[in-house]
Amino acid sequence: MKQLLYLTAAFLVGCIATAIFLTERKPVEPAVTTVTLYDTIPYYIAVARDSVVVRYETRRLPMIDTTSNVGSEDNLIVKNDSADVLIPITQKEYQDSTYHAWVSGYAVNLDSIYTYSWHEYTTVQLPPSKPKRWHLGITAGLAITPKGVQPYIGGGLTYSFKSF
SS3 95: strand
Mean pLDDT of 6-30: 71
Nearest to 38 by CA among 96, 94, 123, 98: 98
Mean pLDDT of 8-31: 71
What are the tens digits of pLDDT across the range 41-96?
666 666 677 778 888 888 887 776 655 555 555 555 556 677 788 888 888 888 88
Alpha-carbon separation of residue 3 from 9, 17, 161 (angstroms): 10, 21, 27
Cα 19 from Cα 161, distance rounded (Å): 6
Please report, as a single letter, which amino acid is at residue 106. Y
pLDDT higher than 70, residue 36:
yes
Burial class (CB in 10 A: 0-12, 13-18, 19+), 105: middle
What are the tens digits of pLDDT across the range 104-115?
887 788 888 888
Instruction: Please calculate the CA angle 156-129-125 and round it to the nearest 5 degrees.
Output: 155
